[in-house]
Structure formats: structure tokens, C-alpha cells
């Protein structure tokens, strides 16, 4: 008797597991979320903007609007969705993370982008930061990701949300995207231990680079650099941050060469 009930409960679990896998909605399909849940996410997003972004001093209206518009819950793995609007980073697979919303907003504001500007992001990850940049009026977005699976997934997520205008590339962002340089803004969302020389060269005069720099495995300092007419980079310290390491041959091959100040 006991044996039968053990077998039948095992069967139940197998059936449940089976029905779960076959009925699972595809990733990042906005129509797969019931409207009540969507509404809850919208409310959470509004609260996130007020409590964790506006209250900490972000004032740029375009940035606030972008943060209120982009559905962050569609850029995180399904099992993280309920936490998507929390005041912290979240894992996105391959040992990488989607940054804390406040950090995304602050870095976006520090880029000081205007209509007609072109911006390069190094470290597409989930595609969330790229989507926030793409929401800024008249800004053209280029983004590079080194992990092929993440690059592919981010491209699909961005396209499924209608951001077909974002230029995505898989590759080592140490070398930037020379074909589309110069950029008015460059944002780096992984931490190198020096400013990659190609990125410095691909920044327009008057352009802003926002980048965390620090020793591998440690905390970093977030810098805003503004390129001067003579090519010098004026540096503004924006405080301590914790980003995933910058990877790839470019950074390893240039460990001795980079140096500080950039």
C-alpha cells in the first residue's frame, strides 16, 4: 500500500514537472505576463524611481522617465522577476549581474547625453542599461558584450521590446567599436584596472566616459572623464562601487601598458 502511494506521488511530481516545462512562457515575451502582474510591476517601478533614484539625488528628467519606462523585470531571469525592482544588483547567468537600478540611473545621468549624441556601452549583459540609454530622446546606442550567449539573449530581449534601433555586437569591448567612433559618451559596466586606450581614443572631444576602475577582485572608484580639446581626460571621482571584472585578452594584454592617470 505504502509502496503504491510512493509510486503515485512520484508520478504526480513527474507529471507536474512535465506540464511545467511544456507550458513555461518564452523568455522576455511581454504578453506572457498576466495584466494584473504587469500592473504590479509598473507600480513597483514607479516606487523604485521615487524611493531609490529621485530620493538619492538623480534629477535629469529624461533619465527618470527612462527608468520609469523600461520593464526591468523582462531583463532578469524569470526566477528573479519578483525581485526585479529591488535596490540591488541581480544575477543574470555566466557569473554576471544586472546593476542596481540607482547605479544605472546615476551612470546614465553622468553621461550627460543630448539629442543627436552617440553612446557606446561596453558590457551589454542583460541589455537593460542599453534599453535605458535607448529611451533617451534622440540618442543612438551601440553596445558590445564579450559573452556570446549574453550578447545573443540581450539582442533578442531588446528586439522583443521594440528596441531594434540598438546596435548590438559580440566581442571584446576593450577595443570599442572603431567603425562608429567617435562617441559622445562611453559607459563601461564591468571594471578594468585602467582606462582602455582604444576607448579613450574613440571618445569625442567634449565627450564623457563613465567607468569603474579598480584592482581585480576589489572595490572600484566610479570615474567620469571629460575629454579636453588637447586630448587630456579631466577626471571626476564619483565614489566607490562594486562591478564584475572586465575580462578578455585586451585587458590582460595591456596590464602593464595602461596606467594611471589615463
Three-class SS of 68-107? HHCCHHHCCCHHHHHHCCCCCCEEEECCEEECCHHHHHHH
Looking at the Cβ atoms of 41 and 142, the one nearer to ligand SAH is 142
In 3D space, the residue among 75, 259, 52, 38 whose CA is nearest the CA of residue 161 turns out to be 75
Question: What would the grid cell of residue 241 be?
Answer: 562601487
Smallest gap from residue 140 Cβ to ligand SAH (A): 17
Residues engaged in binding ligand SAH (CB under 6 A): 96-99, 122-123, 125-126, 128-129, 144-147, 150, 172-174, 189-190, 244, 246-248
Percent helix, strand, coil in the chain (nearest 5)? 40, 20, 35
Nearer to ligand SAH, 48 or 122 (CB): 122
Q: 64 φ, ψ to 5°? A: -60, -40
Q: Are 208 and 112 in contact (CB under 8 A)?
A: yes
Q: Which is nearer to ligand SAH, 230 or 244 (CB)?
A: 244
Kindly tell me which of 33 and 144 has the beta carbon lying closer to ligand SAH: 144
Query: Least distance in Å: CB of 171 to ligand SAH?
Result: 7
Closest approach of ligand SAH to the CB of residue 44, in Å: 18
How far apart are CB 210 and ligand SAH at their closest, in Å? 12
**Catalytic residues, which ones?**
99
Amino acid at each position: 500500500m505504502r509502496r503504491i502511494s510512493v509510486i503515485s506521488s512520484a508520478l504526480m511530481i513527474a507529471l507536474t514537472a512535465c506540464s511545467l516545462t511544456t507550458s513555461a512562457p518564452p523568455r522576455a515575451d511581454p504578453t506572457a505576463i498576466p495584466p494584473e502582474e504587469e500592473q504590479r510591476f509598473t507600480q513597483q517601478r514607479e516606487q523604485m524611481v521615487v524611493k531609490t533614484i529621485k530620493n538619492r539625488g538623480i534629477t535629469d528628467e529624461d533619465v527618470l522617465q527612462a527608468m520609469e519606462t523600461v520593464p526591468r523585470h523582462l531583463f532578469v531571469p524569470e526566477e528573479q522577476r519578483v525581485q526585479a525592482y529591488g535596490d540591488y544588483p541581480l544575477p543574470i547567468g555566466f557569473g554576471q549581474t544586472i546593476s542596481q537600478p540607482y547605479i544605472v540611473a546615476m551612470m546614465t545621468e553622468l553621461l550627460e547625453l543630448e539629442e543627436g549624441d552617440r553612446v557606446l556601452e561596453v558590457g551589454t549583459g542583460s541589455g537593460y542599461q542599453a534599453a535605458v540609454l535607448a529611451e533617451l530622446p534622440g540618442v543612438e546606442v551601440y553596445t558590445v558584450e564579450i559573452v556570446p550567449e549574453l550578447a545573443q539573449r540581450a539582442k533578442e530581449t531588446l528586439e522583443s521590446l521594440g528596441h531594434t534601433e540598438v546596435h548590438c555586437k559580440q566581442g571584446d569591448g576593450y577595443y570599442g567599436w572603431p567603425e562608429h567612433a567617435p562617441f559622445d559618451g562611453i559607459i563601461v559596466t564591468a571594471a578594468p584596472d585602467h582606462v582602455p586606450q582604444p576607448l579613450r581614443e574613440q571618445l569625442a572631444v567634449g565627450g564623457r566616459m563613465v567607468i569603474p576602475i579598480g584592482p581585480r577582485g576589489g572595490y572600484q572608484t566610479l570615474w567620469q572623464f571629460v575629454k579636453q580639446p588637447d586630448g587630456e581626460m579631466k577626471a571626476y571621482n564619483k565614489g566607490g562601487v562594486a562591478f564584475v571584472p572586465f575580462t578578455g585578452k585586451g585587458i590582460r594584454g595591456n596590464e602593464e601598458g595602461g596606467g594611471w592617470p589615463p
